[in-house]
Structures are given as structure tokens and as C-alpha cells.
Structure 1
Amino acid sequence: MKSLMPRDGRVGGGWLTLFAVAWLAVWTVQLTPVQLLLPLQLDTPGGQNDWITGVVWSGLILSVGGIAGVIAGPLAGMLSDRTRSRWGRRRPWAIGGSALTAASLLLTGAATEPLAVGAAWIGVSVGIAVVSAALTAMIADQVFAQRGTASAFVSSAQAVGIVVGVGAVVLLGLGIGASYAVLAVFILVVGVGTAVLLPDPPASWEHPPAERPQHATTHRDWRERLGVLRDRNFMWVLASRLTVNIGNALGTALLLFFLLYGVGSPAATAEDDLLVLIVIYTIFVVAASLVAGSLSDRTGRRKPIVIVAALVQALSAVMILVSPTFVGTAIAAGVMGVGYGAYMAVSLALATDLLPRVEDHARDLGIVNVSASLGQLLGPLLGAGLVALVGGFWLLFLVAGVLSVIGAVMTVAVHPARVSRQPHPAVR
């Protein structure tokens, strides 16, 4: 593990590989149920003519889980910032979050009623939020010159995770219970394994008591600790990530329902069609995130890439509105992958550049994670309402495009400093 320690703010291929694998597990166990398993569990509870009820239940359950993650992510991040164990600061939380996620996945797979599914899914959402807060903090703790690249691995793993999870379920013909069991084992083994192997250097930001200003007050200390949430640029980035992710979720989270009841794919082939779209989407997400992340590292300019990427995602929604066919949706999936992959990679690096206090990295990046995950989980609720309102999907994609444009406009208001390439003394 010593060879994995960062040097001068740079990490090697081994560190990046383990980091990517950890995120692959996180995204696989979160998004496979979102994209496939939960819709299958909740579809047509009242028969084939009651499909909108299944859409509404999916939206409600995912959104309640999102609210739980909103609370759990920053809280776990704040606690990990202050954890002083011989196992490190981030590692205990990554291990505990992985265990909670695995147990909750098993409960979700065993549930048969919507309320029971929703209760178990809250545990999954909390566990994922805890693991994500610990992993994201490692970028701020250990990576400086490669933040765009490291962030690209996060967004790439998100797209690949969907393919791994949905592909395994569809190609192996797994039932719902078996699928959740496989996901539980995956996050437990990979989550714990990567948490043990990734370095977790001790915090070096603490000042000895004698060095602390004697005149500091509790009130002033709390104002300092909340400083990032009072920073205008940081808040614009959070708002943009929330908005763009809601737009993305509108275009992806209800995709199986769109294929069945919007495009008209036969029930026997809908899962296969979904897998094809996910593969197309994944290829472009991975390529765009790696290229955009590397480009932002070389140039030190994140903001223009983020703006263009959000607008490209908006274009994909327009394409589906114009051509709501399987072929049209497949082309739009590639375009959406380009926009979303570049956006997520570079916007995370942009948010990391804006962090003011090293002692609050995990808490602040937990909030950054929440802005994205909350968007992904609120999207289905909004989408379900839009579908129920008009009895179809056109309004859903119209709103998805508008929100993506709004996210781009929000980023225009950000005025970040150029990328800092100097590591904190803790990781030199």
C-alpha cells in the first residue's frame, strides 16, 4: 500500500485503478436497481392498464431514498473529517457504508410490497451516500494535479456500472432476488477491499492547542466552518449540478417505461433494447469524461467545458422529442453520453478546486455528491408527475432539455480561480 501513496499531489495508475473499481461498485449497485430492478418490481401493480401507477411508485421510492442520502452524505463526510482511528479517516466510513448497502440490498430484493421496497431502499441510499462521501474526499485529500482525470474516473465508472449491472441481470437471466444478492456481494467485496487497499493518510491540518488563536470564539469558528456554503461560486456549482442531474435523470431513469409505453417496444425485447441504449450511452460517457477531464487538467480551464457539456445534454432531449423512435433514442443516447460524461467529470473537478478548508473536505464534497445524487433521485419523481399529467413522455423530455440549459446558465455565473497545482503539505 505504501507504493500507492501520492507524491507531490500526483497519484499513480494503481491508485486510479483501485479508485475506479471502488466507484464501479458504488454505481453498479445504485443504478442497476434504478434502471431495471425497481421498475420491474413496481411495474403495473394493478395490471397492464395501470402502468402509470408503477411509474409513480418508482418516482416516490427513489425520491425518498434521495432525501435520506441528502442527510447522510454530508453528515458522514463531516464525521469522517473528524475521525481519528488507527484505520484512518475515510476507510472506516467506506467499509461501514459498504456493509450497510449490502444488507439493505438483500432486504430490498426480499420485499414484495411498494412500502417495504421503499423502506429497504432508504438503507441502500444511506449506505451509498456514506461510501461516496469517503471516496470523493480522497480526491481533495490526495490529488491535485490530476483532479480532472480522477473525477473522470468517477463519471466513467457511473456509466460502466450501469452496463455491468444491467448486462449481468439481462444476459444471465437473473431473477429479482438473485440480482439483488449478486449486487450485495459485489459491493461488500469490492467496497471493503478497495477501502483497505487505498491509502488514507492522516490529517495534518490540526494545530496544536498553543497555536490556536486565543481570541477565537465559537461563533466565529462556526462561521468559518460554514464558509463554503456561503461562497457564491460554490453554491452556483451545486445548483448547476442539481439541475443538470435532474435533467439527466428525466432522460434516463424512466427509460424502460419509455421503451414499453412511449416507443412501443415489445415486453419480450424491452430489456434487451434497454441494454443496447445503455451500452451506447456508456461508450460516449466514458470517452467524453476522460477526454474532458484530461483537457481541463492540461488547460486549467473547467468552466467553458462544463457549460458546453450541459448544452450538449440539452440537445439530446430535443432529439428524442423530434424522433421518439428506438433509432432516434439510440442516437440521442450517444449525444447525451457525451454531454453528461464531460459535465460530471469537469464539474466535480471545478467544485473541488473551490474548496477553501482542508479540514472540511469530506463534508463539503459530501454536499457536492448530494447535489448530483439528489438530482438523479428527484428526477424520477418529477418525471412520474409529468408522465401522469399528460399521459405520455413528451413533456418529460421537454423539461429535461430546459433544465440542462438552465444548468449551463448557472455555470456562467461561476467565477473560479485558475486550477491550483500545488498539493497540500499532507500529501507531498
Structure 2
Amino acid sequence: MNALAPRGGRVGGLWLTLFGVAWLAVWTVQLTPVQLLLPLQLDTPGGPSDWITGVIWSGLILSIGGLAGVIAGPLAGMLSDRTTSRWGRRRPWAIGGTMLTAASLLLTGAASDPVGVGAAWIGVSVGIAVLSAALTAMIADQVFAQRGTASALVSSAQAVGIVVGVGAVVLLGLGIGASYVALAGFILVIGVGTALILPDPQPAVRVASAHAGAERPTWRHRLGALQDRDFGWVLASRLTVNLGNALGTALLLFFLLYGVGSPAESAEDDLLVLIVIYTIFVVVASLIAGAISDRTGRRKSIVIIAALIQALSAVMILVSPTFIGTAIAAAVMGVGYGAYMAVSLAFATDLLPRPEHHARDLGVVNVSASLGQLLGPLLGAGLVALVGGFWLLFLAAGVLSVLGAIMTVAVRPARAPSDPASRSPHPAER
């Protein structure tokens, strides 16, 4: 444990590795069902004339689960901020969220109708939200000089997690039930293991205030970063850009089948190819952008450019709705989304004013991203049903990405990050 403890505002390679592995497990068990298993469970066997029904069911279930996560994430973060157990603040919530996720995945795999799938998926969404809130708070608690790098691990793990999950299912030929069992075992081992190994120090501010007899905080202090204009713009931008990304990715299997015209027997393989391309560029872009933002402090400009690059990918699919065109657009989208998610999370973390509210505030940051990802299928299903095709879906994806970039322009941060020992932000951020 001592070897993993932060020193001088920095964490070591082992800490970052374990943190990245934990997020890899989170994204694998969340996105493998979203991208592949849920569409397979919900796809209507009534033939080409009935495929939109499957799209609508998929959108409804993912959106209802997303709403449950919206409530659970910040609530779990707030409660973990107030937790004083001898096991730490974040660790009990990380383990609890892991166990709920694993149990709910098993129930999702066993469900045989859309209502049962939806009810079980709510448990998965809540469990992932609780675990994510605990993990994200560790960045604000323990990482100061490497926030861009740590945030890059979160976004790159998202892309790698899709490949790990979908690749395992497709290449090993796993059935739906066996896939959910494998995902449940994976998150249980990795989630509990990393939660027990990673350090979970008590905040110095709590100890100091307890001895100083500090005055009871006002409601404005309790709001913390939530009352801040700039923090609000970052949240709105993350919601909007993630909604745009979800429109371009969440219904990809349906797009291959009914938009591109891929044969049913090869559609899963085509999906895996696109995911691998997307993943490579997300990982490379997130790590490079995160490191550059740590070195220069220029987070805002990177976030704006990244959102515009994602918008470009949607335009490319509109111009060339073929498999080759989609593959090229997947690479461009990976660059934009990878850089955006890595640096925007670090950007939001820099704005947090009160350490005792880190998990709650970052729980809201997580929600702003996950809500966009999980509302996307519902909005996308409606757009597809409205025009009987996919062109409006990708047009909306591009427009939302541009709006996310414009929202970031409105951010005018003027204070240093929440850790007093960390460096002041670059003048370009002010």
C-alpha cells in the first residue's frame, strides 16, 4: 500500500496501471452489452420490415438505465464523501458497486423478454454508476500533476474495453448467456481486486476541520462546484458531445445491417473491425492529448478542437455511408472523442473547489458523459424511426458535437486547481 501512496502530488506507474485496469473492466462490462449483446437480445425476428422495433426497444432500455445511473452516481459520490469507515471513503462503494454490477449482469443474461432485460439492466447501470463515482474521485483525491494522463486512461480504457468485450464474444463464439457470465466474472475479480489494492487516504481537510471547530457550511458551500458557471458549461459540453458520440456509435450494428447493407452473417465481424479502428485512434489520441495538456496546461483549446474533429466524422459518414467510408470516419471519430474525453475530464477536475465534495461533483461529471451515451440510443431510435433511415442520425451527431465545442468556448476558468500544491493553470486557461 505504501508503495502506491501518492508522493508530492504524483502517483507511480503501478497506481496508474491498476487504475487503468479498473476502468478497463468498467467499460468492458458496460459497453459490450450496449454495442452487441443487447441489440442481439432485442433484435426482432420478424424480418427486415420489423427491425425498427428492435431499435426502439434498445433505445428505451438503455435510456431508462441511464436515468437510474444519473440518480445513483452523484448520490453514491455524496455518500462516499461522508464515509468514514476504517476501509476508507471510496473503497466500500467501489466494492458494493462491483458486486451489484456482477449480479445484475447475470440477471440480464438470464432475461428472455424486453421488460426483463430492461429491469436487470437498471441494476447494471446503477452498479456501474456507483463504481465509477468512487474511481473518478480518486483522481481528485490523489492525482494532481498527472490529471491529464489519469483522465486519458479513463477514455482509452473505454475504447479498449469495447474491443476486449466484443472481441471475446465474437472470436470465442460465446452465446448471449455465456457472454454475460464472463462479463460478471471479469468485473467481480478486477473491481474488487483493484479496490482492495489501490490506496484510499482520508482527506487532511476533514481532520483539520474536526479539530478547528469549523463553522457549519452554508447551502452555497454545500453546492460546491455545482454553483460555478464554468463548471456548468463543462458539464453541458460533456453531455452534448457524448450525446453526439452515442448517436454515431450506439446503433452501429443496426446501421451496418440496414444502412450499409452488411450481410447478417458478417455484420458482427464488420462491427468488430470498426471498433478496433475506433479503439486504436481513441487510445493514441487520448494519451497524447492528455500528456500535452499536462505539459502545457492548455486544456480548453484541446477540448474545442477535439469536439470539432468528432463532428467531422459524422459529416464523413453522411457523404459516404459505405463500410469503407464508415471505417475512415471511425478513425476520425476516435481521434476527436479520445482527445475530448481525456482532456475534458482533467479540465473539469481542475475546477473543483472543495476536496470534501470531490466524489459528488465528479459523480455529476460522470453522469454528464454517461447520460449522453445512454440517451443517445433513445434519441437515435426516434430519429431513425422518423425518417426510416440513418441520415438524420448522423446529421444530429455532427450538430451536437459542434454545439459542445461552442459551449467550451464559454468557459472562463480563473482559479487554480483544487490542490494547493499543484501548479497554477497556464495563462491560456484563464
The TM tier, using the shorter chain, reads over 0.9
Q: Distance in 2 between matches of 1:337 and 1:259?
A: 18
Q: How many residues align?
A: 421
Q: Deviations over 1:103-157 (max 9, x none)?
A: 0000000001000000000000000000000000000000000000000000000
Q: Deviations over 1:235-294 (max 9, x none)?
A: 000000000000000000000000000000000000000000000000000000000000
8 Å Cα contact 2:104/2:120 also seen in 1: yes
2:226 matched to 1:226?
no
Q: 1:247 to 1:123 in 2, by over 3 A?
A: same
Match of 2:171 in 1: 171
How far the C-alpha of 1:227 sits from its partner, in A, is: 3.1
8 Å Cα contact 2:224/2:357 also seen in 1: no
Alignment of 1:205-224 (within 5 A): 205-206=205-206, 207-209=208-210, 211-213=212-214, 216=216, 221-224=218-221
Alignment of 1:15-414 (within 5 A): 15-206=15-206, 207-209=208-210, 211-213=212-214, 216=216, 221-414=218-411
Q: In structure 2, the residue corresponding to 1:9 is in which secondary structure?
A: coil
AA in 1 matched with 2:212 = E
How far the C-alpha of 1:228 sits from its partner, in A, is: 1.3
Q: Distance in 1 between matches of 2:310 and 2:241?
A: 8
AA in 2 matched with 1:212 = G
AA in 2 matched with 1:221 = T
Q: Distance in 1 between matches of 2:325 and 2:416?
A: 39
Q: Deviations over 1:171-215 (max 9, x none)?
A: 00000000000000000000000000101111221244562345x
Match of 1:416 in 2: 413
How far the C-alpha of 1:418 sits from its partner, in A, is: 6.7
Q: Distance in 2 between matches of 1:351 and 1:257?
A: 34
Return the TM-score normalized by structure 1: 0.96
AA in 1 matched with 2:20 = A
Q: Percent identity among equivalent residues?
A: 83
Q: In structure 2, the residue corresponding to 1:226 is in which secondary structure?
A: helix
Q: Distance in 2 between matches of 1:63 and 1:324?
A: 26
Q: Deviations over 1:374-417 (max 9, x none)?
A: 00000000000000000000000000000000000000000123
8 Å Cα contact 2:246/2:374 also seen in 1: yes
Q: Distance in 2 between matches of 1:347 and 1:369?
A: 11
Q: Distance in 2 between matches of 1:5 and 1:167?
A: 35
Q: Distance in 1 between matches of 2:394 and 2:168?
A: 28
8 Å Cα contact 1:301/1:418 also seen in 2: no
2:13 matched to 1:13?
yes
8 Å Cα contact 2:10/2:144 also seen in 1: yes
How far the C-alpha of 1:419 sits from its partner, in A, is: 5.6
Q: In structure 2, the residue corresponding to 1:205 is in which secondary structure?
A: helix
Q: Distance in 1 between matches of 2:15 and 2:415?
A: 25
- The ranges of structure 1 where at least 4 consecutive aligned residues each deviate by more than 3 angstroms after the TM superposition are 45-48, 207-210, 417-425
8 Å Cα contact 1:300/1:419 also seen in 2: no
AA in 2 matched with 1:298 = R
Q: Distance in 2 between matches of 1:423 and 1:22?
A: 28
Q: Distance in 1 between matches of 2:325 and 2:414?
A: 40
8 Å Cα contact 1:147/1:297 also seen in 2: yes
Q: Distance in 1 between matches of 2:153 and 2:144?
A: 15
Q: Deviations over 1:15-66 (max 9, x none)?
A: 0000000000000000000000000000015444210000000000000000
8 Å Cα contact 2:65/2:374 also seen in 1: yes
Q: Distance in 2 between matches of 1:290 and 1:189?
A: 26
8 Å Cα contact 1:281/1:337 also seen in 2: yes
Q: Distance in 2 between matches of 1:175 and 1:142?
A: 41
Return the TM-score normalized by structure 2: 0.96
Match of 2:427 in 1: none
8 Å Cα contact 1:20/1:154 also seen in 2: yes
AA in 1 matched with 2:244 = G
Q: Distance in 1 between matches of 2:320 and 2:35?
A: 22
RMSD between aligned residues: 1.3
8 Å Cα contact 1:5/1:199 also seen in 2: yes
Q: Distance in 2 between matches of 1:67 and 1:26?
A: 18
8 Å Cα contact 1:144/1:423 also seen in 2: no
8 Å Cα contact 1:137/1:365 also seen in 2: yes
AA in 2 matched with 1:334 = A
8 Å Cα contact 1:73/1:129 also seen in 2: yes
8 Å Cα contact 2:141/2:355 also seen in 1: yes
AA in 2 matched with 1:119 = A
Q: Which runs of 5+ in 1 are unaligned?
A: none
Q: Distance in 2 between matches of 1:346 and 1:100?
A: 30
AA in 1 matched with 2:55 = V
